[in-house]
A and B are shown apart, each in its own frame.
Chain A
């Protein structure tokens, strides 16, 4: 047990506590960025003028008519930018574009005394466009070879040799749609100019430091002139990691130019049409199995739909490639990745950050091939698990694979899976028009930012003379319970009651140069930093105490009068990790988080409608810091994953009509996310026991992202239920999302002819092999200052 992970007796970490803001949440007293508007006098409201075309050159922009609208104060255009006209870090995202790249792209912003006036002003702005050809779908982009950024490759062994030596070889294509974050709070910023020209921006941002950097470079200021604060967010899920910067910059620019506070809050429609989403992916694959059903070789080419700019698409792709193996040992591997450039929103981080898309590929392969191999999918998955000392295709030895096996066994036992699968078979035999399926799937998810430099964090801990403690750290709170855990860490380290500790809102002038609250690693990183700061203070207090065992308040008072520093800045960096993004190899992850889910579903053969009957989950969070928070993350992540895989259906107009490129599911009435009705009738979640993680704060593990991928169990259960409509042993191709319509058509195909979605034999359908000389990364990626974040 390491010093970092060692947990004292009577620790406050490990207690099941409600969210630190729960009482504020339930009473409506918790404040979010846009709630501050009503507490800020003389606010101007910002409204965008959005492109109706997916790709067009702006040939004329006349804002004069807007200024005639009563209440309109100013229209912001490219001419107003004193610094850099760019909202990103790679200079491929102009804040005010000359060429619009997607439907909804803002060409200018109107500021007015009321939102109503700003809206009317925006409608009055005259813009002429010269339309340009647009690539809307991923298929079109692949056909046109319209890519952006680097084209990384992960290779191990000799895939040709591996396939040639395999008993059975299959090839096919797997496609999956993206996902809208649909955080309940849309993007919001409120900017004002403080004393001395200091710009203060309150923003719903997961990455305040990067928001600060972008605001500064747009304004042509140094970072120390700009402070960004995030009180809390109404959900983030990765959608507020890279995307808030431009909105914050608009608000800040408006505040600087008008001298009045500027509020920018996106309507839901604007949020959905203007901001990035989870990447849809297309994957071509060839896979070989040996006599025993063991994976022998895998070749795959993954193409993500990046949208109009690079944003975080490269690191998302890297994580996807690093997770194609999921929990399975594959001796020979060749993985290619590329990012399509399409005229859509710039796709971005979303819980799992490419990991889910990578893992879906192998789970889809196993789900489709199991019947062809004549192997029970439960057995096929289990027999391919990593074992001790085996390494991932990128070269990292998989530590603690036995924990995954333990979780698997526990789910099978507590979920009564063997008996219930027999029950499913009996149900299916008795019901011609309704079928059930029960599937079990594993999750292995790497924790740390792939890019090593981001794995650092800072904290500021103040002990006041009265013994009360105030902590600041670099992470933001978006509902995931980070602040709750940080309070528990501080109370544990200092040995004080929880009530003695408060956490202050995240601000760039308290803790600088922070990484995004992302990659599930904020507790590991900020927890390490908070602990470090507390230990510094504690060490000084121990000297004062000199073994007397003084009560806390007394000790603090005495320390103050002895002129002992009662605050400290803490710092943490994850040790022992390294990553070469050129070779796509190294030891990028501090550890892996594991989980297993078993899901039983029922499908109505008449409509394809389906419901989840029961789910059993065992998930590995190490030694939980905060069990109520962790279980909440597991359940919430799982349901969000089920939404992605079975319901949430992003549709763009891919026709050649006038609406081409338009997102047709741009509101809550057309884009459906899970509601209470999607909660499984039975949901059993257990945290894996004996799961101490030596390398993380108080023995815990990250929990934000991994549970999302537990939802594969539902998708695979749907596949099995659909297969039951067909002849014994049918292989089923299932679209993602598996909406009722998709499930219905899959069942129709299962009832009909033999499957044609998999090619057997060599050479099979050989995946595209992109130019081996292509660089693995965009030249501006992974720069130290203002480098791209990752979630």
Chain B
């Protein structure tokens, strides 16, 4: 196995000797590439954003991620471009030129990160021309404290298409680098599932990472250190996607990849994506990792609960399938056994006819839910025949609102039923007071979730 190395701005850089806990941001800065900054070290501010090449169809895509969350060793064999690699002060990249000319930088500290997030969107192959062609959600994970964002937004919207011979655009025509196996002291990237399971047997205390968007925060903010890290995000067995029968989603697909693969076929999840963290996080975080971390809030879990999803768990003894509703056993605890991995998530078909995702948070985008409610209903001849409601932020685990489901099933889908069910829903879970919200507010938000949905989708007097 060759020594680990990563290509940064076109130049190979050895990773040999890099400690397991060193993140890509510190690694890059250690190379003297200090454009990427640490603003928060938990993937919230985007000041450390860099672009990596990721597979996309027959070619590849420049994909921005938070360098502070990625273990440097996880970049073995990959290609990275930083703000320094986009352009120079004398020859600015079009994204950089637009930001500079329009007043898009004041203190400049967040700017290299913005440039990388914007450049990745600039190179999106299917990006339409014109001011609305730039998807502003692409910069939702970058914080700026100086400008108020208007000049950044305007610079983004003024971008033309890349020039024909733009080398970064051309790079996307070729496939992403092959996945390499990495085996250094304390860090393993196995080549396949069998090897991964063997490694987990060999290192029972190993930390399993995929996008590392959760573990990275633990390592950076809470100083947690792993005796051994096993990276599973490139395992081919965990990256499948199938819609024959139930929708089966490989656990190691990033949320962005899941979104692209589903392409709007699951409307409930389509509602979730823009509200789930930021693109910088969704480009790293995987669907399996999101469930395995068992956050009591995690926006995806309530949605998948409402979709009646199951998880397929792989171990040396084979696969087993567990209903997501039975998966979470306590605060940050699941039924996952030592040596077991989530291989895939299954969503049964057909989908419920009506579904909604309602997230309450302090900030509209890129915030952690105070309360998340996902509901899916089948209504036949005016009667609710099946109701599934998943909740986040109101208990130690994501949970099903079973009492509310019972209050809906078999009842006519009317304002009266909604009101009666809302009173039940308001009492679901065991919400607490914390810095995000009071328990009373959380309960009130539960109580209003169905009312608001009813008013928007079926009510009178409310039109947008």
Contacts and interface: CB of A to CB of B under 8 A. Distances in A.
B363 A672 contact: yes
Interface string A445-485: 00000000000000000000000000000000011110000
B83 A235 contact: no
B273 to A, nearest CB: 14
Nearest to B438: A741
Contact of A26 (B105, B145, B365): B105
B47 A611 contact: no
A740 B360 contact: yes
Contacts of A27: 35, 83-84, 86-89, 92, 96, 112, 115
Nearest to A635: B148
Main secondary structure of the interface of A (DSSP, over half): loop
A25 B149 contact: no
Contacts of A234: 37, 107-110
B254 interface: no
A664 B29 contact: no
Interface in B21-68: 21, 29-30, 32-42, 44-45, 47
A216 B441 CA distance: 52
Nearest to B441: A741
Contact of B92 (A26, A39, A669): A26
A715 to B, nearest CB: 16
B115 A26 contact: yes
Contacts of A582: none
Given A27-B112, A28-B36, A39-B32, A609 B364 contact: yes
Contact of A679 (B29, B92, B150): B150
Interface string A670-699: 101111111100010000000000000000
Interface in A109-132: 116, 119, 123
Contacts of B84: 27-29
Which DSSP category, helix, strand, loop or mixed, fits chain B's interface? loop
A613 B452 CA distance: 21
B118 to A, nearest CB: 10
A667 B42 contact: yes
B101 interface: yes
Nearest to B156: A676
Contacts of A235: 107, 109, 145-146
Interface string B92-104: 1001110111111
A741 B437 contact: yes
B89 to A, nearest CB: 4
A783 interface: no
A181 B151 CA distance: 21
Contact of A35 (B19, B34, B366, B462): B34
B365 A651 contact: no
Nearest to A35: B34
B32 A673 contact: no
A268 B68 CA distance: 13
Nearest to A122: B223
A241 interface: no
Given A25-B111, A269-B221, A636-B146, A664 B92 contact: no
B436 interface: yes
Nearest to A123: B223
B17 to A, nearest CB: 13
A268 B460 CA distance: 48
A676 B152 contact: yes
Given A25-B108, A28-B35, A434-B462, A268 B365 contact: no
A740 B441 CA distance: 10
Contacts of A433: 452, 455, 462
Given A607-B360, A677-B365, A478 B107 contact: yes
A184 B96 contact: no
A75 interface: no
B147 interface: yes
Interface string A353-377: 0000000000000000000000000
Interface residues of B, number: 87
B434 interface: yes
B432 to A, nearest CB: 12
A637 to B, nearest CB: 8
Interface stretch (B261-269, B303-311, B340-348, B443-451): B443-451
Contacts of B33: 28
Interface stretch (A15-23, A402-410, A556-564, A763-771): A15-23
B217 to A, nearest CB: 8
B111 A26 contact: yes
Contacts of A18: 100-103
Contacts, number: 256
Nearest to A632: B103
A606 B149 contact: no
Interface stretch (B135-143, B188-196, B328-336): B135-143
A182 interface: yes
A679 B153 contact: yes
Contacts of A678: 149, 363-364
Contacts of B21: 116
A683 B150 CA distance: 8
A22 B29 CA distance: 21
Contact of A268 (B35, B39, B83, B115): B39
B367 A672 contact: yes
Contact of B363 (A19, A267, A647): A647
Given A26-B112, A35-B34, A183 B462 contact: no
Contacts of A631: 103
A712 to B, nearest CB: 16
A609 B451 CA distance: 15
Contacts of A237: 145
A607 B450 CA distance: 12
B106 interface: yes
Contact of A24 (B108, B139, B145, B367): B108
A163 interface: no
A19 B44 contact: no
B368 interface: yes
A25 B47 contact: no
Contact of B360 (A269, A609, A675): A609
A185 B45 CA distance: 11
B100 A668 contact: no
Contact of B107 (A232, A629, A683): A232
Contacts of A665: 435
A668 B461 contact: no
A788 B48 CA distance: 35
Contact of B45 (A632, A637, A668, A740): A668
B127 interface: no
Contacts of B445: 607
A76 interface: no
B153 A676 contact: yes
B78 interface: no
Q: Which of B39, B40, B144 has the most CB of A within 10 A?
A: B40
Contacts of B5: none
A677 B40 contact: no
Contacts of A673: 143, 145
Given A39-B32, A183-B145, A26 B362 contact: no
15 contacts: A19-B106, A23-B89, A24-B108, A25-B111, A27-B92, A184-B110, A431-B461, A606-B449, A609-B360, A632-B147, A636-B145, A636-B147, A664-B435, A668-B45, A683-B148
Interface of B: 19, 21, 29-30, 32-42, 44-45, 47, 82-84, 86-89, 92, 95-97, 99-112, 115, 136, 139-140, 142-153, 217, 221, 223, 360-368, 370, 434-438, 441, 444-445, 448-449, 451-452, 455, 461-462
Q: Nearest 3 A-B pairs (CB), nearest first?
A: A28-B35, A479-B107, A234-B109
Given A123-B223, A636-B145, 9 more contacts: A26-B105, A28-B83, A28-B111, A35-B29, A234-B37, A632-B147, A640-B145, A668-B39, A668-B42
